[in-house]
């Protein structure tokens, strides 16, 4: 496994940056820091509909203050400075007049014949927002390498970062192979089954924001398989399923080699997923995943995601690893590093992980209940209940 990871890491490098409209940037990895060119709030402003006053002049609220005619609303230029003994009626978001140091909400005020009276004396600073109290101009609001979340989009917008520089996302071509496959919308005839790997791999990519081109299943015929390796279009990575294990119909690695791909590895000491192949042609890469659905999913999580994360310039590529306590004893793995479907839960005492019963690498129903994989080391002893194991998180 370590050798395979080293080969992937050595072969694949970040694709670089591009500039996109902010409206299309949610979920992308930032290529530069976003620094605010404004204070936030941008000016002293009222947090309520009410009256801007000098708090010290409203200490005797029953005496009232002189009400300036008119009303300042959000979007208006700042009103003229507050005069002595004066109150200015304003709306939420309106700029404060210079000299005001409190706002009395309209609910606590009564206007009568050019004077306004207050229920109680305001505190200095009440119901107003000071320029720059949230963000000072020049502050880095978002950092290079960070994923842009919705609140981050708000920060980028207020800082004027539109368009915005982000990492290029890898484009993924997805091709299931196998004579037995029909597409999900079809009724399988005798000996046939519906392609579930194609839609799953497509969904795994889309969930991480990687654009895909998903193709119809390709038959196990040398000419058809060779064609799929010749016409990869603009995909950065081609991901196939099926046709890489040792049987007679496992045509993909030789067809890839004939089409000019350099096989970087084929077969890894991992369970499930042993037949996996990895190749390169120019700047394009191919992952040949095994056809068994759990193997295809696990290989995606372990290998494909690692490569695609790297291409997108993500700082810690690959599915995250966490430690958790095992809920029951597990038999040792043997000569291949083994990944077991499991449910991981946060409990008061820490994380606890429960291995799920599974019928094998075709048991996609068991895998679909898993939110983690337990990693069992090569040639380790049995793992006792309560021991700490490494888990791969599937949902992050
Ligand atoms: P292979 O790796 O081609 O030898 O396929 C291994 C097993 O996975 C066989 O039982 C196939 O029928 C099954 N399989 C292959 N491709 C798919 C697919 N796209 N969707 C569901 N099962 C598949
Ligand atoms: Mg096959």
In angstroms, the CA 381 to CA 79 distance is 77
178 CA distance to ligand 1 middle (Å): 7
Q: State the average pLDDT over residues 360-382.
A: 95
Nearest to 178 by CA among 237, 242, 99, 262: 242
The model's pLDDT over 49-96, given as tens digits with 9 standing for 90+, comes to 999 999 999 988 888 999 999 999 999 999 999 999 999 999 999 999
Q: Which of 175, 176, 178, 273 to mutate to test the pocket of ligand 1 (most atoms within 8 A of CB)?
A: 178
Give yes or no for residue 396 having a pLDDT over 90. no
Helix/strand/coil percent split, the chain, to 5:
20, 30, 50
- pLDDT bin (cut points 50, 70, 90) of residue 380 is confident
- Counting from 1 in the atom list of ligand 1, the atom nearest the Cα of 292 is 8
pTM of the full structure: 0.93
Q: Which pLDDT value is given to residue 41? A: 97
- Are the CB atoms for 8 and 287 separated by under 8 Å? no
Residues with C-beta less than 6 Å from any ligand 1 atom: 176, 178, 180-181, 193, 195-198, 241-243, 245, 247, 290-293
Of all ligands present, the nearest one to the C-alpha of 275 is 1
215 CA distance to ligand 1 middle (Å): 16
Residues in the chain: 396
Q: State the average pLDDT over residues 238-265.
A: 93
What's the whole-number average pLDDT of the chain?
Answer: 96
The model's pLDDT over 268-318, given as tens digits with 9 standing for 90+, comes to 999 999 999 999 999 999 999 999 999 999 999 999 999 999 999 999 999
16 CA distance to ligand 1 middle (Å): 35
The model's pLDDT over 139-160, given as tens digits with 9 standing for 90+, comes to 999 999 999 999 999 999 999 9
344 CA distance to ligand 1 middle (Å): 28
Residue 376 structure tokens: 């069992």
207 CA distance to ligand 2 middle (Å): 26
Q: What is the CA angle 361-171-241, rounded to 5?
A: 25
The model's pLDDT over 97-138, given as tens digits with 9 standing for 90+, comes to 999 999 999 999 999 999 999 999 999 999 999 999 999 999
Q: Which pLDDT value is given to residue 31? A: 98
**CA atoms in the 13 A half-sphere facing the CB of 162:** 15
Q: State the average pLDDT over residues 317-325.
A: 97
- pLDDT bin (cut points 50, 70, 90) of residue 225 is very high
Q: Which pLDDT value is given to residue 239? A: 98
Residue 3 structure tokens: 């050798």
220 CA distance to ligand 2 middle (Å): 7
Q: Which pLDDT value is given to residue 246? A: 85
Of all ligands present, the nearest one to the C-alpha of 194 is 1
- Grouping H, G, I as helix, E, B as strand and the rest as coil, residue 137 is coil
- The whole-angstrom distance between residue 368's C-alpha and the CA centroid of its chain comes to 20
Other Cβ atoms closer than 10 A to 308: 29
Q: Which of 292, 297, 363, 368 to mutate to test the pocket of ligand 1 (most atoms within 8 A of CB)?
A: 292
- Are the CB atoms for 57 and 64 separated by under 8 Å? no
Of all ligands present, the nearest one to the C-alpha of 289 is 1
- Counting from 1 in the atom list of ligand 1, the atom nearest the Cα of 217 is 19
Q: Which pLDDT value is given to residue 294? A: 98
Residue 68 structure tokens: 């300036």
- The whole-angstrom distance between residue 116's C-alpha and the CA centroid of its chain comes to 53
Burial of 269 (0-12, 13-18, 19+ CB in 10 A): middle
Q: Which pLDDT value is given to residue 10? A: 98
- pLDDT bin (cut points 50, 70, 90) of residue 249 is confident
In angstroms, the CA 45 to CA 40 distance is 11
176 CA distance to ligand 1 middle (Å): 9
Give yes or no for residue 248 having a pLDDT over 80. no
User: How far lies 10's CA from each of 157, 277, 306, 319, 367, in Å?
Assistant: 37, 16, 12, 18, 30
């Amino acid at each position: 496994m370590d050798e395979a990871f080293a080969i992937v890491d050595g072969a694949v490098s970040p694709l670089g940056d591009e500039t996109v409209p902010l409206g299309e940037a949610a979920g992308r990895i930032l290529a530069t820091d976003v620094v605010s060119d404004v204070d936030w709030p941008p000016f002293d402003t009222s947090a309520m509909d009410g009256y801007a006053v000098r708090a010290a002049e409203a200490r005797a609220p029953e005496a009232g203050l002189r009400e300036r005619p008119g009303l300042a609303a959000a979007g208006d230029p700042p009103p003229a400075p507050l005069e002595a003994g004066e109150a200015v009626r304003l709306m939420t978001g309106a700029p404060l007049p210079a000299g005001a140091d409190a706002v009395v909400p309209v609910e606590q005020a009564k206007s009568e014949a050019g004077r306004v009276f207050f229920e109680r004396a305001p505190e200095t600073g009440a119901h107003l927002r000071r320029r720059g109290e949230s963000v000072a101009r020049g502050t880095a609001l978002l950092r290079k390498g960070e994923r842009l979340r919705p609140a981050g989009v708000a920060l980028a917008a207020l800082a004027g970062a539109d368009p915005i520089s982000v990492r290029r996302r890898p484009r993924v071509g997805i091709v299931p192979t196998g004579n037995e496959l029909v597409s999900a919308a079809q009724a399988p005839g005798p000996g046939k089954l519906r392609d579930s790997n194609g839609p799953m791999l497509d969904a795994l990519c889309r969930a991480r924001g990687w654009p895909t081109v998903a193709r119809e299943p390709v038959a196990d015929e040398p000419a058809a398989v060779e064609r799929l390796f010749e016409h990869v279009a603009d995909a950065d990575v081609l991901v196939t399923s099926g046709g890489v294990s040792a049987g007679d119909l496992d045509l993909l690695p030789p067809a890839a080699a004939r089409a000019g791909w350099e096989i970087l590895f084929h077969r890894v000491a991992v369970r499930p997923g042993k037949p996996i192949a990895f190749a390169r042609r120019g700047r394009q890469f191919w992952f040949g995943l095994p056809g068994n659905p759990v193997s295809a999913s696990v290989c995606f999580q372990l290998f494909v995601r690692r490569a695609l994360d790297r291409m997108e310039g993500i700082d810690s590529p690959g599915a995250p690893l966490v430690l958790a306590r095992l809920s029951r004893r597990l038999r040792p793995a043997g000569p291949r590093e083994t990944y077991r479907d499991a449910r991981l839960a946060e409990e008061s005492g820490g994380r606890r992980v429960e291995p799920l019963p599974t019928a094998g690498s075709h048991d996609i129903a068991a895998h679909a209940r898993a939110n983690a994989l337990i990693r069992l080391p090569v040639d380790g002893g049995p793992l006792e209940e309560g021991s700490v194991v490494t888990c791969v998180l599937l949902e992050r």
